[in-house]
């Protein structure tokens, strides 16, 4: 169960929109849709991902209350950095809490 006192960090959930620049180049701009409070956790799941080839130094796991509008194609804005969502875990499908694993977003 999640305790409200542990939710100390503000996360902005953004959708990337493609815009064309002056010289017809396309850039992805994050547009923030909503904010939620979360706890940053470190767990064994991160250590298991080393074998999958994911760089755990740039990977964070967020623990937050359930929110149905969160999708895997969003990016998370946390401390002026963007994070790409790798995994959304809804324990026991209870719709009470979420564990979101995300890695730093690199724009292409």
62 forms beta bridges with 40, 100
- Comparing CA positions, the residue from 1, 9, 4, 7 lying closest to residue 79 is 9
- The pLDDT assigned to 27 comes to 87
- The pLDDT assigned to 3 comes to 78
Number of domains in the chain: 1
Containing structural domain, residue 24? 4-104
Instruction: CATH number of the domain at 45, please.
Output: 2.40.10.270
Note whether 28 and 65 are within 8 A (CB): no
- The pLDDT assigned to 44 comes to 47
- The pLDDT assigned to 107 comes to 75
Spell 91-100 as b/e; 16+ CB within 10 A means b.
eeeeeebbbb
pTM of this prediction? 0.81
Note whether 27 and 17 are within 8 A (CB): no
Per-block mean pLDDT, blocks of 10 residues, the chain (108 long): 83 93 86 94 55 66 93 93 94 93 84
- The pLDDT assigned to 72 comes to 93
15 forms beta bridges with 31
The secondary structure of 76-103 as a DSSP string is: EEETTEEEEEEEEE-GGG-SSEEEEEEE
């Amino acid at each position: 169960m999640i305790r409200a006192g542990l939710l100390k960090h503000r996360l902005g959930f953004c959708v990337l929109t493609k815009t064309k620049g002056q010289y017809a180049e396309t850039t992805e701009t994050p547009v923030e849709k909503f904010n939620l409070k979360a706890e940053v956790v470190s767990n064994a799941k991160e250590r298991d991902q080393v074998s999958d080839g994911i760089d755990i130094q740039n990977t964070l796991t967020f623990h937050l209350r359930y929110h149905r509008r969160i999708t895997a194609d969003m990016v998370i804005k946390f401390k002026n950095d963007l994070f790409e969502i790798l995994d959304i875990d809804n324990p026991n499908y209870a719709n009470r809490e979420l564990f979101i694993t995300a890695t730093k977003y690199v724009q292409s």
